[in-house]
Chain A
Amino acid sequence: MNNNHSTFRKIYLYVCVLQEQAKTMERKDSLSLLCVLVCVWTQATYTQGSTQVPEDFTPEPIVLPHFTSCRSREQETFRCWWSTGSLANLSEPGALAVFFHQNNLMPIGWQECPDYTATVENECYFNKSFTHIWTSYCVQLRATSQNITYDEYCFTVENIVHPDPPVGLNWTLLNVSRSGINFDILVRWAPPPSADVQTGWMSLKYEVHYRVRNASHWDKLELESGSQQSIYGLQTDKEYEVRIRCKMSAFDNFGDFSESVFVQVAPIPTKVSVFPMALLLVFGVVGMLFLLVLIIFSQQQRLMVILLPPVPAPKIKGIDPELLKKGKMDQLNSLLSSQHMYNHDTYREDPWVEFIQLDLDDACEKNENSDTQRLLGLTRPGLKGDDDSGRASCYDPDFLPDTEGLLAAHSEMEERHPLVSESSPSTPSPELAETPFFPVQSQPVSQSWINMDFYAQVSDVTPAGAVVLSPGQQNDTPSKNPVDKTKKEEEEAGKEEEHEKKMKLQLLVVDPDRGYSHEVIARQVESSGAPFCSAPEIAYHTLPPEPAEEPHGWHGEYLAPDGEAQMAYFLPEAPPASMLPPVSDYTVVQEVDDQRSLLLNPSARQSPACPPNPIKHLPSMPAVPVGYLTPELLENLSP
């Protein structure tokens, strides 16, 4: 024995040590406890060394016979069970008896159990005849031999009903989710066969439980009074266990659970359906991109216009910007002149240019047929062969004013400056025309220049072809004014320059009443003093009978019978009239020189001793008559 004990003890100690060494986290406590207990036990046995029966440390309590439970399965019968307790003498069969009592209408009294179940120990069975619902029962456990009631239990039958479990539990698959992860099932069952549901004797309510297999927690569904119920949200990768139980409605006692049913649904691979969707999506996107690119490239211009609108170019109404670009001044001028807004300026600026142009155009054409020519009966050799620019040659000696222009100017003198003719565009030379304007405007005799005897009337033409001028009417020369004015403007502009030597003499003869074509006689005065000098004189000579005033007023360039007016036209400096030689009423035009200037009576030509005064004054003023320019003068004048 001792050897055995010692070996046992050694073994156990060895095991303890091993266990102590091999501690894991989870089982540490239990192992150590077990080890301690075993060690203690071996020690105890070893120390005692004998097989003594350990004493009872705790006295066993005496348990009296009592009812354990009473149950009814179908509300038609019921059973009661009891236990005999710990008393030895009562555990013999027949020592105890059950008596029951019903509280019904006819109290009978205590009756003994109608049926002691033979097969089951300590069970009393009450059959249908003894089972009454809606009545309260009391059962007592009595000793047969003694008058001792160990236990009493009162109840009503419907309160002790525990229905049998439902039968026929099965499930069907309702659906699987699109992702294949979840599924729903429909669970069906049948009421327990013992329960009479059809007659309504028992109305049952069912409770379905389910859980993942071998899990610890059951999920419950709501009580269902029908015979089927759905379970939603199960997962395909798990196996489920389903069971059911039932109870009477309006009571609390559930019956036993049915047999479990296992549910599992294999996950359906759904990747096949995903693939075509992805492909479709990709194709759709690619197609749309392609379409977009196509649209952009085909409509590039329009898109550019829409996205980046062009900056509007400067635009003048009615004028093509192309003209502005390429410097087509002629067309531009014509356009601009046709616009009212520009008329004033152009008129203001370059009346003489228009005038010149007009003169040129028409004068050149009319050269052969000009009245002057006819009057003079001269042929100018150089006229036709003049290879100057048509403009210059036309203008130069023989300024034939444009009949239409002057007439127009005459007729519209109120509207604008009379010297300006409308029809031709002007070239820009603003500075020439402007300054003498104002003196003209401020003329007290704003219309008096109309009345100037600046023009001589041709009264007769000599057989020799000379024009005989007569003192003309003083009111008939309205149209000369624009010419005068333009001349003056020219003078103003170019006075600092080389005009000392050059002068243009212009004689404008207008007789609108007689319908004479007015003539502008311009004579280019060379630097030579004599012709220079004489020109004014001659001009003066040709002036109408008022000699007093001065051609000086216009500094020798204009024949102005009315000196005051002329002076006002012209420049500030007015040569004293006394400096000028006396002017005769008229001068006979002898010939027209090759430069188309009318040569007046040579006898009337000046003496060499022409006072230089007129010439002196000349430089102070522009030698160029306003409105008239020869090409040379033009070149000199233009900056």
Chain B
Amino acid sequence: MYSVLQGCLGLLFCSIHGLLGSALDCPDRDAGGTRCSISVEKLLDRAIQHAELIYRVSEEARTLFEQMFIPFSFHAQQSHGGHLCTSNIFPIPTSKSEVQQISDKWLLHSVLILIQFWIDPLVELQASLDRYDNAPSDLLNKTKWMSTKLMNLEQGVLVLIRKMLEEGSLELHNNESVTPYLLPTDMVEHVLRDYAMLSCFKKDAHKMETFLKFLKCRQTNRPSCSIL
């Protein structure tokens, strides 16, 4: 599964990299070429803004969905049990101390992996929501917006990786498919599945935001940001 995931991500990354090459190919030239270059700080700020917005909107979408379609009893159960949202494809830091110990490279890569992980499921979610009879338009708009913004964030993170880490491409060794591990298999109903997807996406958006903010903090060289 990990290799499959990696293969997919690699394909995606290559294609996107090609696109990025044409759209964002703006060499950092100090002399005469400063027109289209952007500083790392600004780029990181923009990425953080994107992540924050996506996180906020994901929360709103999840709340909307919960109010519309999820009975209260199940809601209580969910808050206790939590979800097996993402199969731990790769170890993700879960505590502050772990994040502090992690390197920039790993942070960026984690963010990128998360982003790329969610692009397709969001499209599926959107399609699933469109099939609902009485889905509120606000919810549909939010999901559409999230998928768009996620793709934008992906591009930005790629540029960041290229700038900060000075890496050309990223190779992921995850060949496993993601979808079967996304949800518990006993959830068959569309409603519950969509609700689980929204909750999981919110969690992952939180992760993205947190990691990017940590990165930002590390730019300022504060002692609390990193232990390293």
Report which A residues bind B (CB closer than 8 A). Answer: 75-76, 103-105, 128-129, 131-136, 153-156, 158-159, 196, 198-201, 203, 249-250
Contact = CB atoms under 8 A, between A and B. Distances in A.
Nearest to A251: B59
B202 interface: yes
A134 B80 contact: no
Interface stretch (B20-28, B124-132, B140-148, B210-218): B210-218
B55 A199 contact: no
Given A128-B97, A201-B96, A250 B55 contact: yes
A473 B59 CA distance: 141
A105 B88 CA distance: 6
Contact of B95 (A131, A156, A198, A200): A131
B137 interface: no
A200 B206 contact: no
B82 A103 contact: yes
24 contacts: A105-B88, A128-B97, A129-B97, A132-B94, A134-B203, A135-B82, A135-B94, A154-B81, A155-B80, A159-B79, A196-B96, A198-B222, A198-B224, A198-B225, A199-B225, A200-B48, A200-B212, A201-B99, A201-B210, A201-B214, A203-B213, A249-B56, A250-B55, A250-B59
Nearest to B204: A134
Contacts of B84: 103
B207 interface: yes
Interface in B57-114: 59, 79-84, 88, 91-92, 94-97, 99
Nearest to A132: B94
Contacts of A196: 96, 224
B209 interface: yes
A136 B81 CA distance: 7
Nearest to A152: B80
Contacts of B176: none
Contacts of A159: 79
Contacts of B213: 199-201, 203
B84, B94, B212, B222: residue with the most chain A Cβ atoms closer than 10 Å: B94
B97 A199 contact: no
- The 9 A-B pairs at the shortest CB distance, nearest first, are namely A200-B213, A136-B82, A105-B88, A132-B94, A250-B59, A154-B80, A199-B217, A154-B81, A156-B82
Contact of B94 (A133, A153, A200, A250): A133
B207 A250 contact: no
Contacts of A154: 80-82
Contacts of B92: 134
Contacts of B59: 250
Given A136-B81, A155-B79, A198-B224, A76 B214 contact: no
Nearest to B226: A199
A201 B97 CA distance: 11
Contact of B214 (A134, A200, A249): A200
